[in-house]
Every structure is written in C-alpha cells, then in structure tokens.
Structure 1
Amino acid sequence: MSVIQKIKNIVSGDRPSVSLEDRELLEWLGITPSSRKAVAEVTYYTCLKMLSETIGKLPLKYYRQTERGRIRAAPTEAGILMTVRPNPFMTPTTMWTTVEQNCQHYGNGYIWVRTQFTPSSYGGEYHFLDMWPMQSHCVTPVMDDIGIFGGAGKLYYQYNDPRTGKQYMFRNSEVLHFKTWYSFDGFMGEPVRNILKATVDGSNESQDYMNRLYKQGLTASMAMQYTGDLEDEKVRKLKRKFADMLSGPKNAGKVVPVPMGLTLTPLNMSLTDAQFFELRKYSALQIAGAFGIKPNQINNYEKSSYANSETQQLAFLVDTMSYRLKNYEEEINGKILLPQEIENQNFYKFNEKAILRTDSKTQMENLAKAVNNGIYTANEAREYMDMPAEEGGDQLMVNGNYIPITKIGQQYKGGEGNGNS
C-alpha cells in the first residue's frame, strides 16, 4: 500500500491509528525511526537483565517493630500474594522482574492490586484477591482536576488491555506505581533509553556494521577501475558480478579472474586504526554507568580481580539497588498496609543480603562469630542456613570472660581487700 493511500485511510477512518512501526510512513513524514530496538543492543539488554533479575531474586519479608527490635510478623493476605502467588499465572519472582523491566525500559512500572470489600456490621473490610503487572506503554495516569470521576484532585490510571482491547480505570490506591529516579514532576519517570538515545543508537549502528562485515566474509569494499566509458547498465552488471564472486564467507580466499583493462583496488579500513573496539567499549561503559551497573557485571574484567569484583558487587547494592529497594518498599508500605498494620508498626522489607552471600567457608566463620558474640542465637544462624531450630537454641551466648567496660578493674579490688585484712 502506498504512503498516500495510508494517509487517506487515516483521514477517512478506515485506519483509526498510525503504527509507530510503519517505517515507510514515518520516513515520508520526516521522522527517522531507529533501525533497531534499544533492547537489541547487548549492553542495554544486559543492564536491563541485571536490574530486573536482582529485584526478582530478593525475598520480600514482613516485619513488626517492637520495643525489643524488629521481629518477623504473621503473614497477611497481601503478603502471601507478594511472596507466594500474586495471581494464578505468575510467581512473585516473575511479577517483580516484569515490573522492574517495564520500569527501566519505559520509565514506570505498574501493578494492579485487585481487592474486594466485604461489608459487615462493623463497617466491613477489604480483602486482597490478586495482583497483576500492567504493560507500561498501555497505562496513562490521569489527574482528575475537576472531579469527573467523583473526586477532584485525585489520580487515576487508565489501562488499555492490548489482548482484549478493553479500557479500564483504576484508582490511585489500586495501583502500585514504581518509577525511575529521573522525574521532574514526581509523577512520571523517564527511561534511560530516552536520555542515552544517541549512544544506544550509535552502539546499534556499530553492531550493524560488524554484522555486514561478517556477511561480506570480512572483506573490504573495492573500487573498480576500468578504461573507457561504459553504460550504466553494464557498470551495474559488473558490480553485481564481482560482488557475488567476492563477498560472503563462502568466497573467502577465492581466486577471481579479472578481464584485461579492469582493476579491483581494495578500500582497506582498519578497525584498529579507527579505534573501533575502543569506542564500542567506551559506549558500553557509558550505557552501563547510566544504569548504575558496574564494569564486571557487563563482563569487563580488564581491571578486575576477585576482591575487586566482590567490592563492585557491594558498590552495586549501595549505589544502585539501595535506592531502587527503598523506592519499592515505600510504595508497597504506603498502599498495601492496612491502618491497623500501620498502627502496629508493621512493614515490608526486601532482604538485600541475598545478593551478598559469600563462599561457604566465609559464611560459616561469620555466623560462628555472630553466635559467639551474642549477635545471633544458634537458631537464628541455623535459620540463615535453612536448617531447623533446635531446643535451647534461642539463648544468646557470649564469652564468660567478658565484662562490662564500666566494671573493668573491679575484680582486682576484692582480692586486694582480702589480702590486707
């Protein structure tokens, strides 16, 4: 179908919307679309995978703050959904991974929390039924300034289901909204790919160049020199003939006969002289840095050692994931906790220690030190190792030779008094 016919269909209503994937139409309108998606760029994909999987692998815990400190609280309906089965088709790992991937790629991630109100003589109560991640590009936040939906100044979320074509409107309290740090209004986040569009597109173009080079059998382009004047059609036939005989892996090392008076001169372009790989590596580090991903996490081990990689993993938790986890925890605690839970000082928290586990020897040494110095009970250490509790293991133990710092020296005074009497 021609571009003109497509535009006529849009105007007449035969085609109600313009597809952003229609490359011919976009180019006719003066819009130059990217030849490849950002996800096709390997560094971008790796960063997206790293952040999404990290959120997915961290267990979500439910605690209560007491006078004695933080203790594990009894699970609730919402807690069971977020830690066992959010809906019939997903695990919690899948749900959190999907939300973070949408958040990083589109700037915002959404979860619809479906609830049901059960009336009673005391007013009734809400029950959590299930949770569903929504595709971010199908969600539109709507601020009701004049009270069209029954409340002026309230925020709603419009969701266009791509599978059924139906449209839904959810209240702010029904949607968990997670966003990136890059937001000037505090409502909507911006994705990294919008900020680094030129860098990601440039990296995609360099990959396209390498793909074309491989398809040509790593042979350079050539200049064809001939004597006299040839018609354009004959020139095209010559170009096509030698292109078929010289390009591609199957023609590597092949001897090609050249007619007298015709010369083929390779146009050598050295990747080393052009610093091609150095530039690609620099672009990869720029993309990773924008996501907060460390060099060793994108397989750049040039300046890494075992200790250095472990330090980078800790820096990744502190510099990158601590903000993301705090963002998630605040949104979950702000919309999932019921008034009674807030009054009891209950809260949800991700266990970030799951990505800091060391080798078994170091782990056992750390647990032994914690138990011997009264930080962990034996049963707490056993729980950390996924072992059952034992009788008598809930007592804190310390070395009997330890004394409070305020009583240092008093043990000698008693002995001196007995000796003088």
Structure 2
Amino acid sequence: MLFRRAEKRDYTFTLADEEAAKILGIELDGISVDKAKEATFFTCLRILSDTISKLPLKLHQETGNGTRKATDHYLYNLLKLRPNEYMSSSTFFKAVEWNRLYYGHSIVYIDTIKAGRHAGRVKGLYPLDMDKVEIWVDDKGVIDRNNAIWYIYNTLHGQMKLKHDEVLHFFGMTKDGIQGMAVKDYLKTLVENAQGGQSYVNEYFKNGLFAKGILQYTSQINPEDEVRMKERFQRMASGVKNSGSILPVPLGFQFQSINSTMADSQFLELNQLSMQQIAAAFGVKMHQINSLDRATHSNIAEQQKEFYVDTLQSILVMYEQELSWKLCTKKERNEGYFWRFNVDSILRSSPKERAEYLKIMGESGYISRNEGREQENLPRVDDKNADTLILNGNAIPIDMVGEQYIKETSPKGGEDNE
C-alpha cells in the first residue's frame, strides 16, 4: 500500500431524494437527506456565506513607510473583481464558504500560466465540486517528499491529481489538518429532529389543521365498507379547504381525536431549542436568525461585534493566511505582500460615532482630512493643508509643561523705553 486515503468523514455517495433512499431500503419518513433544506441550517449557511462574500479583499504590502494597497499588482483586481471568467468575486467567495460550511472544507484549483514570460502567474481560481474530491497522503514518499498530500478530482474525463501547492484548501473544524469536519454530520440527529418538526407542521396544515383520530361504529361492516367509509371521512375532513367546516357524522358513528396539540407536545419550545443549538454550532447569533426574544436596540450592536470576534475573525484569518501563502511567491512574501479582508462594513458604527472617531483621530495627528474623507468614501479636497497632519494647539511636549507660566523679565538696565 503506497498511499493511504485521508480519513473521510463525509459520505462516499449522496442520496438525491427520498425515493432514492427507499430504493436502497432506507425509510426516511419524509425527512430530506439534504441537511441544507432544514430552515435554521440553511439560514446559517446563508448568513455566513453572504457575510464572507460581501467583505472586500485587498492585497497589501508592508513597506518602510507603513502599509499600502498593492493596486499595481496583477493579483489585486483578480480577487477583488473576478477570480475566474465565470464568477464575480462575491459569487466566488459565496460558493467557497458554502462548501466549507457544508462539507467541512473547501478546495479551490489554482490555474496558472504554464509557459512563457509569465509562467507561474495565476490565471484563475476555480472552486471544486467537493462530492468529487478525494484526499490522499503519500506515506512512503513514492511520488514526492514524505507525507505529501494529493487531491484527486474525479471528472467525467478522468482524474486530476493535484499537488498541495496547486490548490487552496480552506478548513472549518479539523483534528488532523488534512480533512475537515462537516457540521451537517455532527448535527445529524439534531437537524433531522428539526426537519421532523417541519414535516409535522406541513402535514398538520395539509390536513387543514385536522387531527388524526379513531372512527367508532356500533355495527359490523365488511372490510370493503371500512375502506370506503375511511376514504369518505378523509375527503370530508382533510385539506386546507375543509378547515373550520362542519363534519357530518352518520348515525351510529363517533369520531375521537388521538393527536396531541402543538402545545401539548411542547413543539414551540423544542423547536426553539433546536434553532439555538444549530445556530450555536455555526457561531451565528440568535438575532441573525430572527429570534429576537432577548434582543434590544442596544445589545444587537454589541452582538454584531461579538459575531465578528467570536465567529468571523478566525475564519477570515484562515482565508488570509492560505491566500497569502499560496498566491504570493516567496519573493513577494519577503517583500511584505499579504491579503486582508476589510471588515469596516461589519463593524461600521453610527454616523455620530464615526464623526467623533474622525474628529479625535484628526485632532490627534493620526490622520489627515483627506484620509478621513477617504474612510467615508468622500472625494479628496484639492488643498495642500488637507494632506497635512495637524494637532490641537493645546498639545505640547512633556518637557515643556509649565513653561508657559514663567513671566518674561526685562533685560538689565531698566524697563524698555518706547
């Protein structure tokens, strides 16, 4: 055995729908095998995917004069605008983040120029279908150095064998740094319970809010009449159109409900608990999935900052480190190039708070007027003083404190004469 397959925590195959599962003898009882179809699970996928996709990604360079945007680098517009000819930057990161969340990791193929003066330059970035990706580890070092990682992509035209430096590999949770842990697998029972709750509500409304029950009768009837009587009652009682209508019961028959109500089964409490547990697994705050029971106008802003610190920051750092290592050459990294997301859109405060911040930064000499205007997306002012750092006139060096109170004395020889 020259290679070992990395431990696979996802299923080798997927069941497309309930009918496919039944062919294999699996009874799903109305529960979809696609966890993304559960409302809370899907909402968490959407929130995190949308959040990552809307953050601007910029290439920066650290220099002796500070950090600058590397707008003159060919990669700057590639990731800012269009990583490949088929996807905008927003669409690209939405797809990458969705795969990372759903499968536990996401793999992107780095397409480079193979020959010529620009050989090695990145032409495009393409997210791979994670259902077709396998990860192999070369234990014996037959092809490459010891423990080299290979990504096998199974296409309709055969297999693509990609080395670790030919792909971007973004993780969720992982215990070995090779294979990601899929949230859908670790929340399998919980998500299926939530799907069962949705199915319960759907059937309840399909039946016109009409409960199941027992139809009692005093006389003996044959099996054929039983079937006809059952079908007759179902036609009269089931369906939304029959909701609230009068149900005629023939003489000698009695209907008794055997279904508990939603309140009796504590449906709402259990459903809320499932929502909280699924959202917590993704790091999504409850107010983001429209659960506003404990939310107020003031604490939602704080929860948004907590969402960045507790959830987004580690995700963004993971993206930035992988992009900086794989897309920038060793020479470029030594020259100070690195990728960074702009999170101002998430942490952006109220207009009053921003005005106070800019006032303090400007009067303290940290930023010029034009730098402050750029932060607010306002045009620069054509004034030489707009690029000059200023200080409040009351600020003086510490070794000069008190000198302003020393009275000036006239020179020897008496008072000055006019």
Per the shorter chain, which TM-score range?
Answer: 0.7 to 0.9
* Contact kept? 2:364, 2:390, Cα under 8 Å: yes
TM-score, length of structure 2 as denominator length: 0.88
Work out the percentage of aligned pairs sharing the same amino acid.
34
User: Paired residue for 1:70?
Assistant: 67
The equivalent position to 1:325 in structure 2, one of 297, 312, 316, is 316
Of 187-196 and 374-383, more deviation after overlay is shown by: 374-383
Instruction: Give the Cα–Cα distance (whole angstroms) in 2 for the partners of residues 96 and 29 of structure 1.
Output: 36
- What letter is aligned with 2:149? L
Compared CA separation, residues 153 and 18, structure 1 to 2 (3 A): closer
Deviations 1:54-88 (A, max 9, x none): 11111112222233432223442223211121111
Q: Could you tell me which residue of structure 1 aligns to residue 126 of structure 2?
A: 132
Match of 2:9 in 1: none
Is 1:104 matched up with 2:96? no
Task: Give the 4+ runs in structure 1 shifted more than 6 A.
Answer: none
Query: Is the Cα contact below 8 Å between 1:246 and 1:252 reproduced in 2?
Result: yes
Distance in 1 of aligned mates of 2:62 and 2:222: 87
| C-alpha contact 1:112 1:175 (8 A) present in aligned 2 | yes
**Residues 256 and 24 of structure 1: CA distance in aligned 2, closer, same or farther (over 3 Å):** closer
The answer on whether the counterparts of 1:104 and 1:192 sit within 8 Å (CA) in structure 2 is yes
Structure with the greater relative contact order (CA < 8 A, sep ≥ 6): 1 or 2?
2
Structure 2 residue 168 is the aligned partner of structure 1 residue 176? yes
- 1:35 aligns to what? 31
Task: Kindly state the Cα deviation for residue 46 of structure 1 after the two structures are TM-superposed.
Answer: 0.8
Matched-pair contact (CA < 8 Å) for 1:333–1:347: yes
Distance 1:208 1:70 in 2: 54
- Structure 1 residue 310 displacement after superposition: 0.5
Structure 1 equivalent of residue 90 of structure 2: 93
Q: TM-score, normalised by structure 1?
A: 0.87
> Which range moves more in the overlay, 345-354 or 387-396?
387-396
Partner of 2:15: 20
Q: Which residue of 1 aligns with 2:358?
A: 367
1:108-127 equivalences under 5 Å are 108-118=105-115, 125-127=119-121
- Tell me the alpha carbon deviations over residues 231-286 of structure 1, each in whole angstroms, 9 at most, x when there is no partner: 33322221111011111111123233322211112335221222111111111011
CA contact (8 A) 2:61 2:68 kept: yes
> 1:349 aligns to what?
340
Matched residues in 2 for 1:363 and 1:247: separation?
59
Measured after TM superposition, the shift of residue 113 of structure 1 is 1.1
C-alpha separation in 2, matches of 1:134 and 1:235? 57
Q: Measure the CA separation in 1 of the matches of 2:396 and 2:220.
A: 103
Aligned partner of residue 365 in structure 2, secondary structure: coil
Q: Which residue of 2 aligns with 1:394?
A: 387
1:348-369 deviation digits (Å, cap 9, x = unpaired): 1111122122333433332233
Q: Which residue of 2 aligns with 1:3?
A: none
Go from structure 1 to structure 2 and tell me whether the alpha carbon gap of 1:270 and 1:228 turns closer, same or farther (over 3 Å shift).
same
Per-residue CA shift, 1:200-258, capped at 9, x if unaligned? 00000000000000011111112101113333332222111101111111112323332
1:147-196 per-residue CA deviation (whole Å, 9 max, x = no partner) reads 454555322211123xx45421212111000010x211111111211111
What's the secondary structure of 1:259's corresponding residue?
Answer: coil
Out of 41, 46, 50, the residue aligned to residue 49 of structure 1 is 46
Check conservation: 2:122, 2:327, Cα contact below 8 A.
Answer: no
Which structure 2 segments of 5+ residues have no match? 1-11, 413-418
Q: Cα–Cα, structure 1 residues 290 and 22, in superposed 2: closer, same or farther, change >3 Å?
A: closer
Asked if the contact 1:103–1:136 (Cα under 8 Å) also holds between the matched residues in 2, the reply is: no
SS at match of 2:387: coil
Q: Per-residue deviation at 1:106?
A: 0.6
Q: 1:11 matched to which residue of 2?
A: none
Counterparts in 2 of 1:32 and 1:411: CA distance versus 1, 3 Å: farther
Find 2:154's aligned residue among 157, 160, 181: 160
Partner of 1:211: 202
Deviation at 1:407, TM superposition (A): 3.5
Given that residues 56 and 96 in structure 1 are in contact (C-alpha distance below 8 angstroms), is that contact kept between their aligned partners in structure 2?
yes
3-state DSSP of counterpart to 1:242? helix
Shift of the 339–20 alpha-carbon distance from structure 1 to 2, 3 Å rule, reads same
Counterparts of residues 217-296 of structure 1 (less than 5 Å): 217-296=208-287
SS at match of 1:257: coil
Q: Higher mean Cα deviation, 325-334 or 351-360? A: 351-360
Give the CA RMSD over aligned residues. 2.4
Q: CA deviation at 1:104?
A: 0.1
Using the TM superposition, give the Cα deviation of residue 135 of structure 1 relative to its aligned residue in structure 2, in angstroms.
1.6
Contact 2:53/2:89 (<8 A) preserved: yes
Q: Is the 8 A contact 2:139 2:147 kept in 1?
A: yes
Q: Name the SS of the counterpart of 1:239 in structure 2.
A: helix
- Structure 1 position 141 matched with structure 2 position 132: no
Greater Cα shift, 270-279 or 45-54: 270-279
State whether residues 31 and 199 of structure 2, in contact with CA within 8 Å, keep that contact through their aligned partners in structure 1: no
1:82 aligns with 2:89: no
| C-alpha distance in structure 1 between counterparts of 2:288 and 2:17, whole Å | 36
| Counterpart residue type for residue 397 of structure 1 | I
The alignment status of 1:411 with 2:404, answered yes or no, reads yes
Separation in 1, partners of 2:157, 2:207: 45
CA contact (8 A) 2:107 2:169 kept: yes
CA distance in 2, matches of 1:243, 1:396: 81
Q: Contact conserved, 1:160 with 1:168, CA < 8 A, in 2?
A: yes
Shift of 1:125: 4.9
Q: Could you list the runs of 5+ residues in structure 1 that have no partner in the other structure?
A: 1-16
Work out whether residues 36 and 42 of structure 2, in 8 Å CA contact, stay in contact via their aligned partners in 1. yes
Count of residue pairs the alignment pairs up: 397
